[in-house]
Amino acid sequence: MFGKPVSLFTLFGFEIKADVSWLILAALITWSLATGLFPEYYKDLPQSAYWWMGLAGAIGLFLSIIFHELTHSLVARKFGVSMKEITLFIFGGVAHMEKDPPSPRAEFMIAVVGPLSSFFLAGSFFLLYHVGVGSGWPVTMTGVLKYLSWLNMILAVFNLIPAFPLDGGRILRSILWRWKKDMRWSTDIASQIGSGFGLLLIIMGIIYMVRGSFVGGLWWFLIGMFVRAAAQSSYRQILARNLFHNKKVKDLMVTNPVTVPRSISLEDFIRDYVYKYHFQAYPVLSFGRLTGCIFLKQLASIPREEWTHQTVGAVALPCDQNIIIGAEEDADKALEIMNRTGNSRLLVVNGDELEGIIALKDMLALLSLKMEFNDLEK
């Protein structure tokens, strides 16, 4: 949301990341619990106790969201849908699917396990709360357990609302998909409901703010904005995948890309290429053969006084798998790689021969034209 996510740890082969927005939210949650919720319900505790409860509540929320998204990822893996990372951001978390579910059943199972996992956590925390009360556990512990039980119940119920891209919206899409045998139509309907639900939340937020509940209203407003935008972008992603599904990389690539000779100096490279084309990475050629790639971020570690005698070939790095693709690969695979890695340009290679470059901006331009002429079926 606000920049490159920070990698936290890896669990069951999934990389857990946190957007900067989540780190801000965690601090706000800790503060609001320590100064608002817990002092309201549990009187006359030391101030330090409230802060420990607030921190425990924020950590519990963090683990609850990871558990929720992890169940999505594990079930998706079972159905052959690759999910390599889970990112926490200001409105919760998201497990990144590299492709759409292969069937309505897979979509249903991947979606429904999320709310079920939250219901499971809600019940587990509620049971622990009663065990703790009966066993005389400190109120600082039972209070946090009760809060986490209530919180996971709310997460489960909210996610069951049939508004895409919430889990309930994905469940609705799976049902419509099974009925009509048309994923695009099903996504359109579920996304329209999600967009409408987002608009409703926005209106509710404005009403709350007008009535004096500014903070609560602001949250509803922001969540509504997020749901509405996510619903609309999800449908556009389906359109894009449908458009590119039957095309090959060679159909969309540029066959005369900008390349850099390995023999020129870094000074010439910056003057004649970087300042002219503004790319973040360039393929490096020698006698017509691809020998590596040079990235702008490399230049930051090279002293400026060395630019005149240091050559491109001396600092070029091998082109890794995150930046190359074959000409006969499906275009939607290129889109998946771009989405996963954040690279907007991929080198189209055959051995050490550079056949072209496929760029996200060109793919989006084609998509825009197809949508303008209502020609997405071709």
Query: Distance between CA 70 and CA 73 in Å, rounded?
Result: 5
Encode the chain (378 residues) as per-residue pLDDT tens digits.
444 566 766 776 777 777 776 777 788 888 888 888 899 888 888 999 999 999 999 899 888 988 988 898 889 888 887 766 666 655 555 656 666 788 899 999 999 999 999 999 999 999 999 999 999 999 999 999 999 999 999 989 988 999 887 889 889 999 999 998 888 788 888 888 988 998 998 999 999 888 888 767 887 888 888 788 877 777 666 766 666 667 888 888 888 889 999 999 999 999 999 899 888 888 999 888 999 999 888 887 888 888 888 899 888 888 888 888 998 888 878 877 887 777 888 999 988 899 999 988 877 777 676 666 555 554
Q: Which two tokens stand for residue 42?
A: 């549990």
Predicted confidence at residue 85, as pLDDT, reads 62
Query: For residue 132, how far is the Cα from the chain centroid?
Result: 37
Domain 249-372, second-level architecture: Roll (3.10)
Phi, psi of 248 (to 5 degrees): -100, 160
Gap between the Cα atoms of 337 and 324, Å rounded = 9
Check residue 1 and give its pLDDT: 42
- Report CA torsion sign: 45, 49, 50, 56: negative
19 vs 69: CA distance, rounded Å: 15
Phi, psi angles (nearest 5°) of residue 13? 85, 0
- What is the per-residue pLDDT for 120? 97
Taking the C-alpha atoms of residue 166 and residue 346, their distance in angstroms, rounded to an integer, is: 32
* Given 40, 69, 328, 336, the catalytic residue: 69
Write down the domain spans for the chain: 6-245, 249-372
Rounded CA gap, 78 and 87, in Å?
Answer: 20
| Alpha-carbon dihedral angle through residues 81, 84, 89, 93, given to the nearest 10 degrees | 40
Q: Give yes or no: 69 in active site.
A: yes
Q: 159: which 2 tokens?
A: 């996610």
CB 167 within 8 A of CB 160: yes
- Closest among 119, 148, 146 to 130, alpha carbons compared: 146
Q: How far is CA 334 from CA 15, 244, 282, 298, 348, in A?
A: 21, 9, 18, 25, 10
Q: Cα separation of 178 and 121, whole Å?
A: 30
Cα R_g (the chain), whole angstroms: 25
